[in-house]
Homo-oligomer: A and B are copies of this chain.
Amino acid sequence: MGTLTSERSSELQSIVWDSSSLEVAVMIEAELTKVVDDGRGTIRDIGLHSLNAGGKRVRPLLVWYSGLMFGAPSEALKRTAVAVELIHMASLIHDDVIDGSELRRNRPTAQKNWGCHRAVLGGDFFFAKAFGVLAETGLVKTLEIMAQAVQEMCRGEILQAADQFNTGVSLERYYERITKKTAVLLEASCKAGALVAGAPESEAETIGRFGLNLGLAFQITDDILDLCGDEAKMGKAKYADLTKGNITLPLALLLKEEGYRDWINTVIKEREFNRAQLERIESTLRESGAIERAFAIGAAHLEEARKILSGFADSSQRRFLSDLTYMLQARAN
C-alpha cells in the first residue's frame, strides 16, 4: 500500500475495489504527492493540505483507464492523470475562496488556513503547474483540451452565480451549468487519456462522451444529495446549495409542478431558510416525486455512459469504467 494512510486507502477502496485498480490508484497518488511535494514553503503546504483532504481521484482514474482502452501505460499517460487532478485541486481551492467556505471534507479549507490571498495564489500555482506537467508530455492537443475545459469551468461557475435565486431558470440552463461546471472536465479527462494513448480523434470523442455523461450523473447526484443526503456521510453541510440559492435539478423539477410551484417559488424568493423550513422543502421534494425523477435522470446518463462503453470490445479497462458507473449509482441510492 506504499505510503498511504489507512484512512486514504479505505477512501480509495470505495472506488477501486480490485487489487489491480487499487495499484493504479496508489501509483497515481504517489505521483501526485511527488509533484506537489516538489515545491517549497506555503505553496507546498497548501498543495499537500489539499491532497491530504482526500478525494476519490476519479479524474486521473478516468485518464488512465480511458488511455488503456487504446494503448499501453506510459509516462505521458501518468503525467496527464496527475495534471487533471491538479486542475481539479486548483479549482476547488478557488471555489472555496469564492464561496468563503471554511470546511471541505470535514477539514479547514486552504483559504481558512492561509487566507484568501495565499489561496488565490496557491490555486493559480497549481493551475500553472498542471499546464507545465501537461507540456512535459509534449502533446499539444491535450493542452488545448484542458485549457478549454478550465475556461468552461469558469463559465459554469459564473453561470451558477448569475442564476442564484432565479426560480425561472430553465432545465436547459441547469444542464449548461452542470456541463460546464463539472462534466466538461470528466469529458476532457477521458478524451485526453485516449489521445495520449494514441486513440484516433473520433474514438477519443466517443470515450469523451462517456466521461461527459458520467460527469452529468455525478453532478446530478451531488445536487440530489445536497437536498436529501445523509449529512454524516457527506463531509459537508447539507442544504448548502439550497441556501445559496442554487436551483438544482430536483428544485427545477418541483418548480414545474402546478401544485407546488407557487409555494416553492415563494420559499426560495423569501430566502428564510431555517432548519424547519429546509426540512419541509426536503420532504416536499420527496413527496412530490421530484427527487425520484432527478434520480431517474441521473440514472439515464449512467445508462447512456454504459451504452457508449458497450460499443467497445470487452476488456478489463472497459469493465473498470463500467463499474465506475455502477459505483456512482450505488452512491446515489
Binding site for B on A (CB under 8 A): 41-43, 91, 94, 97-98, 116-118, 120-125, 127-129, 131-132, 134-136, 138, 140-141, 143-144, 146-148, 150-151, 153-155, 157-158, 161-162
Contacts and interface: CB of A to CB of B under 8 A. Distances in A.
A147 B127 CA distance: 9
B118 A120 contact: no
24 contacts: A41-B155, A91-B124, A94-B120, A94-B121, A97-B116, A98-B117, A116-B116, A121-B157, A123-B124, A124-B127, A124-B150, A124-B153, A124-B154, A125-B150, A125-B154, A125-B155, A127-B127, A128-B148, A131-B131, A131-B147, A134-B143, A135-B143, A136-B144, A140-B140
A127 B128 contact: yes
Contact of A98 (B116, B135, B148): B116
Contacts of A153: 124
A121 B43 contact: no
Nearest to A147: B132
A315 B100 CA distance: 54
A143 B131 CA distance: 8
Contact of A42 (B91, B94, B120, B158): B158
A138 B136 contact: no
Given A117-B161, A129-B151, 5 more contacts: A121-B158, A124-B124, A128-B151, A131-B147, A140-B143
Per DSSP, chain A at the interface is helix
Nearest to A161: B117
Contacts of A43: 154-155, 158
A235 to B, nearest CB: 23
Contacts of A97: 116, 120
Nearest to A157: B121
A124 B151 CA distance: 8
Contacts of A134: 143
A43 B156 CA distance: 11
Contacts of A154: 43, 121-122, 124-125, 128
Contacts of A162: 42
A155 B121 CA distance: 8
Contact of A151 (B125, B157, B158): B125
A132 B158 contact: no
A147 B143 CA distance: 12
